[in-house]
Structures are given as structure tokens and as C-alpha cells.
């Protein structure tokens, strides 16, 4: 006489648990047999499992949750890739949604007789699918390096998927969480310069894959005065450039990328027009139009030297006018004070030569100052044009300096 064996009950549950444990051990160690490596794997899984169970039951307050997340992260970081794969499989199993609730929700959708029932059934399914895995991952956001930990964990998931396809659901859930955290609205755009922290510069070198950076001198060349580099950062990853762009400022389009990467190439930025540079060299008896302005301003005595100051006044006023009226980042003036006044309807009214010869004034703008005028009858028009197309209103005496 044959006898049917029930697949339910405590014994069956115990058998399933033992089968799962054996599968985890097989992932950590190919083959069978006890040994030192087996004992290490068993110890790691034995340490992680109760922590995962505490996380599942949400035991303790915020401090306990953070401490538990730190312990899990420390164990995970200390494991090999194969052992990490086993931990990830354990997480997938421990935090899976209840199958019975899923089946009931799916059945309710199939049996829905009208839109109201279908809506309730969809909500029920969404709740059933809202597995504890996402809540488990969010606890790592409490750690200073928690977001970085999850990004690295995702890299392990991608490496493990070919041999552990059951981890696909964990990847999908983690992807959804990271997509919400890395929404463009949360990212910060920052300029990277040679004076940025060394940690960021090192990562810029490491991450550049299109045109590899060969050395620190090469990097310095790419961050020189004729270059710009910007990167997006996440608030929880302040030293991790997520996306970056390198810009070379040129006249026209170069025919070869080697011209842009040439560390010995001359800088492509000219402050003074050729005629202005020649005029200044003649006035000062300087031999080189390309460096005359730099050399003149490098002399500490120039503000008190009447001859030198008079020769510099016209070209410096023209440069100041160009900076205030034409130099922009997008549609916004580069100068933050100018942006404030112009966005409120003012116009650039007048430039003042050597108006602030204090140490701060000389360092900030070579002693030059500017005034902004609010004309009541024109404020609204200036404000609207500035917001619409970035138009900067300037008095005639300032506009003449741009010709």
C-alpha cells in the first residue's frame, strides 16, 4: 500500500531549511568535505543569519538598527566574493515576500469584476510585493559610507548573477532603491579644479576611460585655465564623482584630439585683443604682448606707479566690462553679486578704477569696483529680459568699453 507524504508541517520546514543551508555551503565551497574553509564559511553565515533575522523583525530603535547595519557591513566586507554571494542568497531568502499573500493578490486581480475591485487588488499586490528587502537595504543609509556600501554590493551582485541567477530579484529591488536615491534632483554639480581634494583628483584619474590620464602633469594640463571640468556628486557620496565632463576652450573645432591632450601646447585663452596688447607693450616697453598684462599686474608697486597705472587703466576697464556683461555660465553672469542685482532689474551703471586698494580689494578685483542702478521705470523690463534670455542691461558708458 502506498502512502502519500505531506509536504507541510514542521518536519518539511526543517528539511527545506537544511536544503537551503546546504545550497549556501555549496556556493561558498565547491565540492564536499569538511575543512578549514568550510568552518570559515559556516562561521560567516552563522554570524550573519541572526543579524538578518533581527533586521527582519525590526528589533530595536535607530541606534540598534545602525549598529546592526555596521556589523553586517563589516562581515560582508571581510568575506570573499564566493562568501558574499552566499550572504546575498541568504538575504534574498530571508527577506522574500510571503508566497501565499502574492498568490492571493494575483488571484484577486484575475477575479476582479470591475475597476474598483481591480484597483483594490492591484494595491494588495503592491503591498505584497513590497518585500522587506527594500527596508533592509535602507538601513544602510544611516551609515556614513552606507550608500557607497550598497553601490559596491550591487557590483558584487552583477558579478555573481551568471552563477547565481536567483539573485536577479535582489538586483531589481536594489536598482529601484538606488534610482530613487540618485534622482537628478538630489545631485550637486560642482567644478573640479587643480585645487580640489586629492581624493577626488585621484578618482578622476582612475575613472577617465575615454582618454586615459597618464600622469599628474597630464591631469594638471586638463584642469588648466583653458579647461573646465564639472562633476555630479550625491550628498551622501561627497568625494565620489558620479558623472563628469571635461571641456577644452578653443577657437573653432580642433581637427585632432591630440591637440587638446598635448601637455606642451600653449594655452588657448587670450585676454587682450592683439591691438590692445601691442598698445600696452609699447606704453610699458615690454617685449612680449602675450605676457605683458600678467607681468605688469605681477608688479606689487603698480597701483602707486602713475605711469604704469595709467597704461593699465583702459585695458583693465575693458576686461572688467567684458567680465560683467558678456562672461556667463549658461545664461547667468559669472559674478554672483552681478547675478543678484541684474536678476532684480538693475543695470551695470559704472566702473570705478582703483576704488578699493585694500589687500582684499586688490586680490578680489585688482581694486576695481562697480555700481548697479535701479531705475524704477525700467526695473520690470530689465528683470523680465534677464530671466527670459539672460540679457544684461548696461549704461552707455559701460557698453562703450565693449566696442
Element (H, E) at 277: helix 274-284
Alpha-carbon torsion, ordered 47, 155, 130, 164, to 10 deg: -70
pLDDT at 20: 45
Q: How far is CA 190 from CA 183, 240, 332, 340, in A?
A: 16, 12, 16, 20
Query: DSSP 3-state assignment of 234?
Result: strand
Full-model pTM: 0.49
C-alpha–C-alpha distance, residues 386 and 403, integer Å? 21
Q: What is the pLDDT along the chain (403 residues), one digit of tens a residue?
A: 333 333 343 334 334 444 444 444 444 334 444 455 567 778 888 888 889 888 887 777 888 888 998 999 999 999 988 889 989 998 888 887 777 777 888 888 888 888 888 888 888 877 777 667 778 888 888 888 888 899 999 999 999 999 899 898 889 888 888 888 888 788 899 999 888 899 999 999 998 877 888 889 889 888 887 888 999 998 888 888 988 888 888 777 777 677 777 666 555 756 788 888 888 888 888 888 888 888 888 888 899 988 888 889 999 999 999 999 988 877 788 888 999 999 999 999 999 999 999 988 898 899 999 999 999 999 999 999 999 989 999 999 999 998 7
- The pLDDT of residue 81 is 87
Closest CA to 273 of 111, 122, 110, 401: 401
Specify which residues 191 forms β-bridges with.
230
* pLDDT at residue 26 in the model: 45
Cα separation, 259 vs 128, in Å, equals 59
d(CA 380, CA 388): 12
Domains of the chain: 15-96+131-181 (1.20.140.90), 186-261 (3.40.630.180), 274-402 (3.40.630.150)
Mind giving me the DSSP string for 347-368? Answer: EEEEEETT---SHHHHHHHTT-
Cell of 283: 606704453
Distance of alpha carbon 197 from alpha carbon 193, whole angstroms: 9
CB 320 within 8 A of CB 368: yes
Nearest-angstrom CA–CA distance, 125 and 105: 5
pLDDT of residue 12: 43
The residues near 235 (Cβ < 8 Å, ≥ 6 apart) are: 186, 188
Distance CA 84, CA 148 (A): 16
Residue 212, phi then psi, degrees to nearest 5: -50, 140
Amino acid at each position: 500500500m502506498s502512502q502519500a507524504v505531506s509536504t507541510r508541517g514542521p518536519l518539511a520546514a526543517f528539511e527545506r531549511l537544511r536544503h537551503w543551508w546546504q545550497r549556501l555551503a555549496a556556493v561558498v565551497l565547491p565540492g564536499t568535505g569538511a575543512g578549514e574553509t568550510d568552518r570559515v564559511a559556516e562561521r560567516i553565515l552563522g554570524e550573519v543569519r541572526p543579524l538578518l533575522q533581527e533586521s527582519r523583525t525590526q528589533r530595536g530603535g535607530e541606534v540598534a538598527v545602525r549598529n546592526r547595519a555596521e556589523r553586517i557591513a563589516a562581515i560582508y566586507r571581510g568575506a570573499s566574493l564566493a562568501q558574499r554571494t552566499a550572504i546575498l542568497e541568504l538575504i534574498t531568502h530571508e527577506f522574500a515576500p510571503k508566497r501565499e499573500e502574492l498568490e492571493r493578490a494575483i488571484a484577486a486581480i484575475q477575479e476582479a469584476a470591475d475597476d474598483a475591485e481591480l484597483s483594490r487588488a492591484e494595491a494588495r499586490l503592491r503591498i505584497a510585493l513590497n518585500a522587506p528587502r527594500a527596508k533592509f537595504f535602507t538601513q544602510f543609509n544611516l551609515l556614513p559610507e552606507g550608500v557607497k556600501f550598497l553601490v559596491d554590493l550591487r557590483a558584487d551582485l552583477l558579478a555573481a548573477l551568471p552563477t547565481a541567477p536567483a539573485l536577479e530579484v535582489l538586483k531589481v529591488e536594489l536598482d529601484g532603491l538606488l534610482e530613487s536615491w540618485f534622482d537628478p534632483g538630489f545631485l550637486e554639480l560642482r567644478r573640479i579644479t587643480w585645487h580640489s581634494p586629492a581624493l577626488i583628483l585621484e578618482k578622476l584619474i582612475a575613472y577617465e576611460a575615454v582618454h586615459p590620464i597618464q600622469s599628474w602633469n597630464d591631469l594638471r594640463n586638463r584642469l588648466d585655465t583653458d579647461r573646465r571640468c564639472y562633476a555630479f556628486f550625491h550628498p551622501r557620496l561627497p568625494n565620489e564623482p558620479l558623472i563628469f565632463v571635461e571641456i577644452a576652450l578653443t577657437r573653432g573645432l580642433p581637427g585632432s584630439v591630440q591637440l587638446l591632450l598635448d601637455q606642451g601646447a600653449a594655452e588657448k585663452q587670450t585676454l587682450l585683443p592683439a591691438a590692445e596688447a601691442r598698445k600696452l607693450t609699447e606704453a610699458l616697453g615690454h617685449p612680449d604682448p602675450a605676457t605683458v598684462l600678467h607681468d605688469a599686474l605681477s608688479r606689487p608697486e603698480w597701483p602707486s606707479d602713475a605711469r604704469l597705472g595709467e597704461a593699465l587703466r583702459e585695458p583693465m576697464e575693458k576686461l572688467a566690462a567684458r567680465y560683467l556683461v558678456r562672461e556667463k555660465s549658461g545664461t547667468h553672469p559669472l559674478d554672483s553679486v552681478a547675478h543678484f542685482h541684474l536678476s532684480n532689474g538693475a543695470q551695470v551703471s559704472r566702473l570705478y578704477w582703483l576704488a578699493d586698494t585694500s589687500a582684499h580689494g586688490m586680490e578680489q578685483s585688482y581694486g576695481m569696483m562697480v555700481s548697479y542702478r535701479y531705475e524704477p521705470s525700467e526695473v520690470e523690463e530689465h528683470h523680465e529680459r534677464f530671466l527670459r534670455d539672460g540679457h544684461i542691461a548696461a549704461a552707455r558708458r559701460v557698453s562703450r568699453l565693449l566696442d
